[in-house]
Structure formats: C-alpha cells, structure tokens
Amino acid sequence: MINVLLTTELSVFEIAEKLATITIAVSTLIFSFYIYNYQLKKDNKSLKLDWYRLIIIESKFEEFFVFFMRVNSSLEKIKNSPNITEDEKSDINQEVLEHLLKLRLEFVSLLLAVDKMLYDCVLHQFDELYDSITIKLADEDLNLFDKDVYEDEITKHISSYKTKILKMFVDFKGANDTHKVN
C-alpha cells in the first residue's frame, strides 16, 4: 500500500517536473522569437539609416544647400529694381521653378528609395516654399524692391523653410513616424 502511494507521489512529481520543463521550453521559445523579431526590426532600421546616411546625407546633401543658394541668387534681382516688370518677375518665378525641378530630380526623388513618407513631407515643404514665393512675386502691392520688405518677405521666409526642412532630415530616425508635415 505504502509502495503504491510512493509510486503515485513520484508520478505526481514527475508530471509536475515535466509540466514545468514544458512551460520553461515554451516560454524560452516565445522569448527567443520575440528577441529575434526585435533584433530583425532593429537591424532593418539600422540598415535603412546606413543607406540614408550614404545615399542622402553623405552623397547628395550638397544639392540641398545649392538649391537655396540658387533661389536666393535668382530672387536677388528684384532687390533695388523698382521698375521691374511683371514679365521680368514671371521669368524669375520660372527660374525658381527650374531650381525646384532640378532639386526634385537630383535629390528629393532619392528619398523614395529610403522612405516614402519622408519624401512626401520634404517635397510638400519645397512645394509650399515655391508656392509662397510665386504668390509674393505675383502680388503687385508687395514692394519687394524695398530692402526691408525683401528681408521680411523673402530672406527670412526662405531661411525659415530651410531650417524647417533641414530639421526633417535631422529628426529622421529610420521609421515612418519620426517626421511629420507641420
């Protein structure tokens, strides 16, 4: 009788031990899978950032500054030109458009290879900048040839967009939600 009880008790211990082993094994498996997924995501993000640095920041970022230099240079013609005609302002507007098209082809479109949302956000900001310049150039009541007006309406305006767009590149961390259109 005692022997039977001992055998039974041992069986209970054995069952408990086996259950514990199975539980530990399943937990280890789930945990390993979680770590694997986490590491994979981290590696992908890191790889994406490496490509971002290589393709955009190290190879082509000069285009960003060149664009602003060209835009400022085109618009400077308005300064000190009180007799500028609408056709001449329209030509300047076309010149700025040319700079935008060149920038889109040689720089902004590369962002599509890295992150579509970053591409959209950056392109929309450049479009907003160009649209606002167009509106200012078309406004006959805005005396852009006046030094102070030019400073406020053009120089400071362009500079604020430059900072805003630059911040998008600085803030980019490789994930879709790290930058937003303001």
Partner 1 sequence: MKEEIFELETYRAKGSKVFTGRDKGKYVRVNSKFDEIEKNNDKVIFKIPANLFSINPSFFEELLINVVLKLGKQGFIEKYEFVNEGKYKFEKPLNEAIDRILRENNAL
Using the rule CB under 8 A, give the single segment among 18-26, 65-73, 134-142, 159-167 that binds partner 1: 134-142
Q: Least distance to partner 1 from the beta carbon of 34, Å? A: 31
Specify the residue, 147 or 164, whose C-beta has the smaller distance to partner 1. Answer: 164
Q: Least distance to partner 1 from the beta carbon of 104, Å? A: 7
Q: Least distance to partner 1 from the beta carbon of 83, Å? A: 18
54 belongs to the binding site for partner 1 (CB under 8 A): no
Rg (CA), the chain: 31
113 belongs to the binding site for partner 1 (CB under 8 A): yes
Nearest alpha-carbon partner for 145 in 109, 100, 97, 92? 92
> What is the CB neighbour count within 10 angstroms for residue 67?
23
Of 14, 43, 50, 131, the one binding partner 1 (CB under 8 A) is: 131
Of 49, 57, 84, 97, the one binding partner 1 (CB under 8 A) is: 97
**106 neighbors 126 (Cβ within 8 angstroms):** no
Residues in contact with 67: Cβ distance below 8 Å, sequence separation at least 6, in sequence order: 99, 100, 102, 103, 107
44 belongs to the binding site for partner 1 (CB under 8 A): no
Give one word for 139, left, alpha or beta, with left for phi > 0 and alpha for psi -120 to 50: beta
Q: Least distance to partner 1 from the beta carbon of 44, Å? A: 17
**Distance in angstroms (rounded) separating the CA atoms of residues 48 and 71:** 31
35 belongs to the binding site for partner 1 (CB under 8 A): no
**67 neighbors 132 (Cβ within 8 angstroms):** no
**123 neighbors 65 (Cβ within 8 angstroms):** no
Q: Which residues bind partner 1 (CB under 8 A)?
A: 86, 89-90, 93-94, 97-98, 100-101, 104, 109, 112-113, 116, 119-120, 123-124, 127-128, 130-131, 134-135, 137-138
